[in-house]
């Protein structure tokens, strides 16, 4: 079984993330979305909430599983019998850090390969931070996150 892991903070999951999940789900037998739960940042949603949200918005994609992880990504990959890490790239500015992480992960586990997927043009500007910034000023989130998430995100800023 060809399994890929798509890791991230997903705080919150955006339509850009969902686009990457949908597109890669057709390339692998299974895509495991792995939510990092030990990030230094103070998250808007707990890891459990982020997992539940992603489960809901990917419920129609059969071969997607959602988990949380802490510690090293390479350990999470091994535990889940995966070999590939999926990373979305929005711009050249993403590349430097992502390239460093890809090489670090391969150094830690020589069997781990990173697959960079270019963002769709309509989501090239989009990030979880941008979504939070807009929500904090009660701006319009339509098209940036799944519709059902808009009130959930907005309520965190009330
Ligand atoms: O959505 P993000 O915050 O850009 O995701 C970052 C993530 C989760 C992919 C990265 O922080 C990560 O892999 N963390 C796990 C710790 C780890 O394995 N570090 C070594 C590789 S640099």
User: pTM of this prediction?
Assistant: 0.97
Residue 64: alpha-carbon gap to chain centroid: 12
Model confidence pLDDT, tens digit, residues 97-152:
999 999 999 999 999 999 999 999 999 999 999 999 999 999 999 999 999 999 99
| Alpha-carbon dihedral sign for residues 26, 27, 29, 33 | negative
Distance (angstroms) between ligand 1 centre and the Cα of 59 equals 25
Domain boundaries, the chain: 3-155
Rounded Cα–Cα distance for residues 63 and 32 (Å):
8
For ligand 1, is residue 9 a contact (CB within 6 Å)?
Answer: yes
Rounded Cα–Cα distance for residues 29 and 1 (Å):
6
Distance (angstroms) between ligand 1 centre and the Cα of 95 equals 14
In the chain, count of helices (H) and strands (E)? 6, 5
The DSSP output letter for 119 is P
Q: What is the CATH number of domain 3-155?
A: 3.40.50.620
- pLDDT-derived band at 39 (thresholds 50, 70, 90) equals low
Model confidence pLDDT, tens digit, residues 9-35:
999 999 999 999 999 999 999 999 999
- β-partners of residue 117 are 88
Mutate to test the pocket of ligand 1, among 7, 38, 42, 93 (most ligand atoms within 8 A of CB): 7
- pLDDT-derived band at 38 (thresholds 50, 70, 90) equals confident
Mean per-residue pLDDT over the chain, rounded: 96
């Amino acid at each position: 079984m060809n399994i890929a892991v798509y890791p991230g903070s997903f705080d919150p999951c955006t339509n850009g993330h969902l686009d990457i999940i949908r597109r890669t789900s057709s390339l692998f037998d299974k895509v495991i979305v792995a939510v990092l739960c030990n990030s230094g940042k103070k998250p808007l949603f707990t890891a459990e909430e982020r997992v539940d949200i992603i489960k809901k918005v990917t419920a129609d994609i059969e071969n997607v599983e959602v988990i949380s992880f802490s510690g090293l990504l390479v350990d999470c990959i091994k535990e889940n019998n995966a070999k590939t890490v999926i990373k979305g790239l929005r711009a050249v500015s993403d590349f430097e850090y992502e390239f460093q992480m890809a090489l670090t992960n391969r150094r830690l586990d020589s069997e781990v390969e990173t697959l960079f997927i270019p963002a769709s043009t309509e989501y090239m500007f989009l990030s979880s931070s941008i979504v939070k910034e807009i929500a904090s000023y009660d701006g319009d989130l339509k098209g940036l996150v799944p519709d059902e998430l808009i009130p959930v995100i907005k309520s965190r800023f009330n």
